[in-house]
Amino acid sequence: MILKRVRLAFTTGYLALLPSQRVITVVVVVVVVVVVVVVAVVVGVVVMVVVVVVVEVVVVVVVVVVVVVVVVVIVVVVVVVVIVIVVVVVVVVVVVVVIVIVVVVVVVVVVVVVVVVVVVVVVVVVVIVVVVVVFVGFL
């Protein structure tokens, strides 16, 4: 009934309506405008809340990704530093062991050479003494 009156107002003109029909038409138009405004406000608020939530989620995701990347970079740097330290320590230990082995071998060789020289000198001296004693004994 109300819609018929609204339609009548639009088809015949507002002034063609009776005064009571004009009041009803104004009330209906006001109600429709209020409903449209309320719906628009509600939709605007919902859209704004959705946009804010989406932006917050995106910000949180970006922050989490940045934190994860920073942690991964720190872990990789620490692992690389530890590996470099371990390699340096191993190289230093190997060099020290090689130096110790070379020093021990040189000392052993020097001792053996000295012992051999001393033994040879002693043997030569003993042989010379024996030869001299034997030769003097024959005279």
What single-letter DSSP state applies at residue 90? H
State the number of CA atoms in the 13 A half-sphere of 95 facing the CB.
6
Range of the domain at 72: 2-138
pTM of the model: 0.47
Q: Are 25 and 14 in contact (CB under 8 A)?
A: yes
The pLDDT score that the predictor gives to residue 30 is 85
**pLDDT given for residue 29 in this prediction:** 82
Q: Token pair of 88, please?
A: 């340096």
pLDDT for position 108 = 94
Work out how many domains the chain is built from and give that number.
1
**What tens-digit pLDDT sequence spans the chain (139 residues)?**
666 666 666 666 555 555 666 677 778 888 888 999 999 999 999 999 999 999 999 999 999 999 999 999 999 999 999 999 999 999 999 999 999 999 999 999 999 999 999 999 999 999 988 888 888 777 6
